[in-house]
Amino acid sequence: MRRMVKKYFYPVGFAMMLVSSSAMAKVDPKAFYMINHFFNPNAAFCSLPLGATDIEVGILDNLLFNGGPYKKAFTDKGERNYIFDSSPDALWKMAKTLFPSNNGQLGTETISKTNFGKNAKDPKTLALLMNYANSIRNNTETNIDEISNNILKTMKDAGRTPDEKLQLSTIVPLLNFIKKSIEEEKEGKSIYPKGMTETVLSAFCCYQLNTQKELYEYMLSLDNSIVPEKDALRTYLQHYPDRELKPEDISNIKYKADRGMELDIDAVYDLFHGDIWKSITPYRGTPINNGNVYQYERKLGRDVKADPFSDCVETLARHLGNLLLFNAETRVFDLTNIEAHVVKNSEKNLYFDEPDHII
């Protein structure tokens, strides 16, 4: 077995280091430390830890695939055709627009030109969605055309090239679904708990953002009614720019819990991830799904952005590489075996000796 691992898996692991995909990134749970502290308690449904929890415990999976009010779609051969599932329910439509999940696993991107997820990567874009939902929640007058224009602008400002049909085909309907979902809740017609619309939007933000820095950029772009103490947040970031959850924080939380002291959302979320330093894999929960990538034109040294493709196989292989290379004791990716393999079998490997050349 060991010989087989060396012969087949180490080369695969090395090859996967050469594949680039945005889908591999996902915010580390330790990055959410103290984040909820800056949210207005009256806007608790907008909390990022709640959105992250929606993903981790399978609430969105259940909504979209297991128990939501929707009609399953099938191909002529009787196979599931998830992308064509349908429902009259506004919240389900909103969730399906954000998470089209065309392969039956939670995911935000497809190769469709009118897919929202592959264009909504910037914190400012995501903040506009939550600000809009918050306005509907608080009965503040809104203009969908203006908001959709602003969303499209943030996409372009972030270097995206959204299709000309995206605004009318996806963005405007999405805003209408958000509005109707909140209105149905207020009228007592919704089957979901209060604030579910904002929680799903938070889940989408957590899925799309990649770093702690992006989380804070998102929060600074939210309305003051959601994150009121922006100056306090900026001061915190100046003093603790990279502060993440630490093992001693878990000990302090357990100390409070053992003495019957009240725990806030931050503490509960952190406690839920208290075993993160002991996991035998680099993942917490289900690994993230595939995304869209561009072909690379080596002669010209550029991406071919006209024809993106779904990197399902590449993502699977990279997950395999991550699992094989992760050292559960040191908590880092250990390249020792790959180094040995390359030295023995490919002594003058350009990509290994000169990592700056890796494409």
* Same domain membership, residue 13 and residue 62: no
pLDDT mean values, one per 10 residues, the chain (359 residues): 44 40 61 93 92 90 84 91 92 96 88 92 97 96 95 93 93 97 95 94 94 95 96 95 93 93 91 86 70 74 72 80 85 80 69 51
In a domain, 24, yes or no: no
Residue pair 204/108 in contact (Cβ under 8 Å)? The answer is yes
Choose among 28, 225, 46: nearest CA to 140.
Answer: 225
**182 and 68 share a domain?**
yes
- Do both 197 and 50 map to the same domain? yes
Looking at the structure, tell me whether residues 351 and 222 fall in a common domain: no
What local confidence, expressed as pLDDT, does residue 22 receive? 37
What per-residue confidence (pLDDT) applies to 286? 62
pLDDT (0 to 100) of residue 16: 40
What distance in Å separates the CA atoms of residue 223 and residue 220, rounded to the nearest whole number?
A: 8
Rounded (10°) CA dihedral 20, 201, 162, 288: 20
Q: Which domain holds residue 133?
A: 40-241
Supply the pLDDT for residue 70.
85
Give the pLDDT score at 288.
67
**E strand intervals along 238-299:** 292-297
pTM for the complete prediction? 0.80
180 within domain boundaries: yes
29 neighbors 284 (Cβ within 8 angstroms) = yes
Q: How far apart are CA 59 and CA 217, in angstroms?
A: 26
b (16+ CB within 10 A) / e for 69-103: ebeeeeeeeeeeebeebeeebbbbbbbbbbbbbbe
137 and 209 inside one domain: yes
Looking at the 3D structure of the chain, how many domains does it have?
Answer: 2
The Cα-based distances of 196 to 19, 38, 186 in angstroms read 36, 20, 12
Locate 73 and state its tokens: 């779609």
